Amino acid sequence: MKRFLIVLLLLAIQMPLMTSKDREVPSIGAQVFIEPGQTEEEIDGYFRILADNNMDVARIRLFGSHVLMPDGSWDFSLYDTAFDAAEKYDIRLFITLFPPTDPTADVGGFKFPFSKTHLEDIGKYIEAAVTRYRDRPALDTWVLQNEPGNGGGRLPESDLLDEMRIRWREGHPAVTQQGSAPLAWNFDEEEFHNWCIAEYLRWISETVRKYDSRHGLHVNPHQLLDNLKEYDFDTYEEFLTSLGVSMHMSWHFGYFDRCQFPLGISVMSDIVRSAAGDNPFWITEMQGGNVIFSGNRILCPTGQEIEQWLWTGIGSGAEGVIFWMLNPRAAILEAGEWAMLDYKGEPSDRLTSAASVAAALRDNGRLFASSAPVKGDITILYNKESLWTQSWMADSIHDNANEGRKKSAVIKSVLGAYEALSVWGTMPEICEMQEYCWDDPEGKCIILPDMVSLPSDCIPKITEFVRNGGRLIMTGLTGYFNENMQCMFMKDSPLEECLGGKLKEFKAMETPYFSIEFDGTGTEVPAHMWKGIIEPVRSEVIARDGDDPVATVNSYGKGEAVWIPSLIDLGAWEKDILPLARLYGHFCEKQIQDFPLRLASPAENVIIRQMTSGDSIIAVIVNKNSFETELEFDGPIPDNARLLYGTAMPEGSRITLDPEECIVLTYRK
């Protein structure tokens, strides 16, 4: 027992990162659901279908409850059959470690050990599984845990958690009140929760590494936009070789209309690609089939949507996409659902659509082998402190009527800023504030959309960013609190010099939505709930509401700070994105012009992902409108452009796409 706790709690040990097999092109595959009752012929048939449909990777959940015998021995014969079939058809395997649990009541798997004894049992399962398959040619990557994180819920109280809490407190003394100092809040419980999740994943990785030092290590966060606040991606990078994400439109896309699903894939991919650091990222689970009793949204993807989703993920830089799933499980929750095969075991239109994308990737392997997303100089920053603060406040007031006071207000503001830039055909980067590279800011732009809490150590970085030539766009309630939930607009704000003014107050408006008209642009942008009134000191007023200055721009050092202390990103997300798009198009004009392709005017429900490959540009263009859409670009598309997928060809600076059409084209720079 002692050796397990030492490995779990020891922070200083750093294992060397292993790399999985080289991949020539982005991979497409599916989860093959293995369960008792399947015959060798059935299992062989699943892998044959993958190969016949141009898929080269599969994921298998290695159920501990299937292989643990009553006498404590292990019987892996069912999964041996799957490995044999994968090797027969040259399919690489992502194996999800899934320690024994009650399969009737724990469909997704437990997220944290229930006790020290449970931890020891988990270790025995890992040893048995890894030593069984570490030398099999089909093995590519170990998925350490299915969908880590529990949505911020409390971890199970146990002797194990007690010992971890003691260790945590030794290195993290609680904030205490002294004298007349302002009340200071802390998020120690949230920090402890995240640390426990990260340390459990580290322990799994180190346990695997005892027996296998060669294969990849991976996890797939889920419900990403809600669970961002509990993932410590920077720590994960220390022991993972790739980072993944689950994207189920029926579970994880509640903030998006169906026509926005490619936008949701794009934004989640950009978050995970940034969070992966130097590691590649995968879409480890993507919805592949119909839902009936499971899922929050009734949905069956169309073949066209499968194409759109795949190309959007690949255009966002995914190293691979694995569908959930090829064949359905037979019983209990999810039985008969989610599959890309019909009940007769034959390929659906969803599977054949995925096969056509996989074929296009294979046929253009050299081009895609060295492809990478175009990275622009516009970055939207978020931070956990804002997500924690907004969540804490929402739990305190339970206001379900006003978007600005819900848990989702911060992340929806991020989405509003992201969509407003995406409709120009240019994708911003998204990065956690503490992980952003603040070096060399000249010509770059950062957007802080409703970051209600700004950690004190980030304030000097933001100030220096502007002073040294960057552009800051700060909106909503950004900077209302510091990391201790102390209001920073009372007395002297630490950003006052950079912003060139002070905040007089916020005023709740009579209606939930109002408009701000910006001088010189003719743009009237929707905003939500609160009007922030500025007292300019050195800044120039660029918008007023009556006599109240509500937006300013300030030259500071070599850079510039734009301040709009009203919820314009959230207002645009809820009401109308185009006015905000025009505003950001004005403030980010230079950065938008630096993209290889950019639209002459913003286009709703259109996604354009751009990649570079050597001296070539690859563009994925998806039209989610229900009508034919003509796109006009800011300049002609080169004559050497050729189609890799789809039918619509550019004519000069225009492309006309049918409803729901997706094309992929390439041209030489």
219-260 per-position pLDDT tens digit: 999 999 999 999 999 999 999 999 999 999 999 999 999 999
What's the predicted TM-score (pTM) here? 0.95
pLDDT for the residue numbered 402: 94
Lowest-confidence region among 337-341, 475-479, 489-493, 513-517: 489-493
Region of 620 on the Ramachandran plot (φ > 0 left; ψ -120 to 50 alpha; else beta):
beta
Percent of the chain with pLDDT over 90: 90
Is the Cα torsion angle 466, 470, 471, 474 positive or negative in sign?
A: negative
Which amino acid is present at 503? L
- The DSSP symbol for 17 reads P
Classify 199 as helix, strand or coil: helix
Average pLDDT (563-575) is 98
Which has more pLDDT, 386 or 14?
A: 386
Residue 232 structure tokens: 């410590």
| Residue 394 CA: distances (Å) to CA of 250, 285, 388 | 25, 30, 10
**What is the four-CA torsion angle of 592, 597, 599, 604, rounded to 10 degrees?**
-90
Q: How far apart are CA 68 and CA 390, in angstroms?
A: 44
- Per-residue pLDDT of 526-557, as tens digits, reads 999 999 999 999 999 999 999 999 999 999 99
Q: How far apart are CA 586 and CA 600, in angstroms?
A: 13
Residue 651 reports pLDDT greater than 60: yes
pLDDT for the residue numbered 8: 44
Average pLDDT (287-314) is 97
Cross-strand partners of 30: 58, 323
Nearest to 413 by CA among 459, 379, 444, 451: 451
- Per-residue pLDDT of 328-385, as tens digits, reads 999 999 999 999 999 999 999 999 999 999 999 999 999 999 999 999 999 999 999 9
pLDDT for the residue numbered 535: 97
Residue 623 reports pLDDT greater than 80: yes
Contact 476, 569 (CB under 8 A): yes
pLDDT for the residue numbered 175: 59
- Per-residue pLDDT of 421-475, as tens digits, reads 999 999 999 999 999 999 999 999 999 999 999 999 999 999 999 999 999 999 9
Residue 176 reports pLDDT greater than 90: no
- Per-residue pLDDT of 251-272, as tens digits, reads 999 999 999 999 999 999 999 9
pLDDT for the residue numbered 177: 56
Residue 2 reports pLDDT greater than 60: no
Residue 75 reports pLDDT greater than 60: yes
Average pLDDT (629-646) is 97
Classify 610 as helix, strand or coil: strand
Residue 150 reports pLDDT greater than 90: no
- Work out the pLDDT band at 9, boundaries 50, 70, 90: very low
Classify 283 as helix, strand or coil: strand
Percent of the chain with pLDDT over 70: 95
- Work out the pLDDT band at 179, boundaries 50, 70, 90: low
CA 390, chain centre distance (Å): 19
pLDDT for the residue numbered 152: 77
Is the Cα torsion angle 189, 271, 221, 113 positive or negative in sign?
A: negative
pLDDT for the residue numbered 633: 98
pLDDT for the residue numbered 20: 39
Q: What is the mean pLDDT of the chain?
A: 94
